[in-house]
Amino acid sequence: WSPRTWVSREDQVEDFFRFCDGLHLAQIVDVTPEVVEAYRRDLAERLSRRGRPLVARTQQTMLVYLRGFFRFLLRSGRILVDPCRDLVIGKAPSTLPEVLTLREARRLLAAIDDADALAVRDRAIVACLYGQEQPSLTTTGQMNATSEKRVLKLAGGSTLLGYDSEL
């Protein structure tokens, strides 16, 4: 685990303890499944710093960390009963990234440095996604890019010439 992960987990568990302080719970053994459920409802109603409801993934992460913390306490003998044992954590919905407008795609392509072969590859991928010739890219083949010729050789022998001319 990275130090950042540990800090994040610590912050999430501390958030639960602040919630418990508001309920005047003095010890960890005072935490019941009802307290955990109240915390889950509190997360569902809580607003972020931006004034928006917490997204489902944030709520899920906070509850997963809390459940892991109580499992650790149970395994290490610090508590006798896991208050998260019946906690149902729903799966956060998958979200798709926003699609770039043609103008944004052009700005992105203009920002790519042609001196780097990986950047040339990235430019070709973005160009393909935004309406240029769409060669079939395979995950098993190799791609070779030559920036000075503005040519991209794709697996299977296809070649994409002047791939950024339209954008």
Instruction: Categorize the per-residue pLDDT at 135 as very low, low, confident or very high, splitting at 50, 70 and 90.
Output: very low
Whole-angstrom CA distances from 28 to 21, 46, 113 are 11, 23, 55
pLDDT at 72: 94
- On the question of pLDDT at 106 being above 70, the answer is yes
pLDDT at 71: 95
| Closest of 131, 136, 138, 130 to residue 159, by C-alpha | 136
**DSSP 8-state symbol, 144:** E
| pLDDT (average), residues 14-25 | 93
What is the chain's percent helix, strand, coil content, to nearest 5? 45, 5, 45
- On the question of pLDDT at 146 being above 90, the answer is no
Q: Which burial class, exposed, middle or buried, applies to 62 when counting CB atoms under 10 A from its CB (0-12, 13-18, 19+)?
A: buried
Instruction: Categorize the per-residue pLDDT at 136 as very low, low, confident or very high, splitting at 50, 70 and 90.
Output: very low
Report DSSP letters for 88-107, one per residue.
Answer: --PPPPP-PPPPPPHHHHHH
